[in-house]
Amino acid sequence: MKKQTQIRKKTISLIVLNYNGLQHLDDYFTSVFSQTLLPNEVIMFDNLSQDGSREFVRKKFPSVKIITEDEFNTGTALAINTAFTHTHDGYIILQSNDIILDKNCIQSLFESLIADQSVGIVTSITIRYPNMKLRRFIVDQAGGNIDMFGFGMQNYPQIPFKDIPETGEVFFAYGDSLMVRREAFEKVNGFDTRMFMLNDDLDFSWRVRQLGYKIMYTKNSFVYHKGSATIGAIYKRPQIRYWSERNSIRCYLKNTSFGHFLITFPFYIVLLFGEMSYFLYRGKFALFFSDVKAILWNLVYLPETMSLKIKNQLFSKKNNIEQLINYKSFKLMLFRNFSKSI
């Protein structure tokens, strides 16, 4: 990543992505500017919005720096990397626009990160947007863990907020709300722009782990999540399936150790082709061809992926990555749930 000439080591830059998210921006930015610890700079990367988002933010939240993209849809990965080049602080917050922050969210992230130099990323707990009449606060995720095939799954999903531990180590942080050390972001060269969107946060976290850093969640930092405001409303299921499967394969190929890869790859192939056979059997041809496209894409980029794999393994520090892998198949569990909905 391009390094900044003047970096404020102990202050915070916040990056939020927006794509036609006008309906969320008032709640989101109001909660940002109500924090007990304010970020030094707030940057919104606006990606082809046509709903008046930019005009609204310029008028109501004039201190927000807006970076615009009007020529093509960059996806989340390139958007984050581009916005990062405009930051000047030692700690970077990445957030989605469909959340509302608790007032202590940023301060708790910052305090957790500076308290332990071995931690590279701290993530907020995401709570499902609550039914205020019932006063139910159910966790959507407190970071995530992965299975043997590199598939991610939420940590503590559908658990009452009051019942989860105060803090804990997780394998990766979701992109809803996290804080990362600037040097960690730069050393891994940011997000993988080949991924466009989906699983790019898992891949980013995995590579930060390979530097020797831990990833933690803290219960003191939480956000209310309204749901997948952009992707579910804009893109059809086969397109989402394509991005998800394509990026999962690339992430698995790129980041697993050679030993782990040799052991698990045959089982991965069996499971993947089992899914594809099921789609054919059910007549879900669009989903079948989404998987075919995902495989072909990875074959085209295989030389690049394997080159990155070699580089990652050469510079990977020994830590507890393998111990954090769950050897139950989240991929199989997710497919079972997915198949019930089609």
Listing DSSP states for 17-70 in one string gives EESS-HHHHHHHHHHHTT-SS--SEEEEEEES--SSHHHHHHHH-TTSEEEEE-
Instruction: Please report, rounded to a whole number, the percentage of residues in the chain having pLDDT higher than 70.
Output: 86
What pLDDT score does 12 carry? 96
pLDDT interval class at 92 (50, 70, 90): very high
Residue pair 113/37 in contact by the 8 Å Cβ criterion: no
Return the pLDDT at 218. Answer: 97
pLDDT for position 3: 47
Q: Note the pLDDT tens digit of each residue in 24-66.
A: 999 999 999 999 999 999 999 999 888 999 999 999 999 999 9
Cα–Cα distance between 161 and 124 in angstroms, integer? Answer: 12
User: What pLDDT score does 257 carry?
Assistant: 86
Q: Give the highest mean pLDDT range of 5-14, 250-259, 297-306.
A: 297-306
Q: From the centroid of its chain, how far is CA 173?
A: 6
pLDDT of res. 115: 95
Query: Which range in 100-114, 142-156, 223-237 is most confidently predicted, on average pLDDT?
Result: 100-114
Vertex 303: Cα angle to 299 and 308 (nearest 5): 120
The pLDDT, as a whole number, for residue 321 is 56
pTM of the entire predicted model = 0.89
- What is the helix, strand, coil percentage profile of the chain, to 5? 45, 25, 30
How many Å apart are CA 190 and CA 207, to the nearest integer? 9
pLDDT at 4 over 50: no
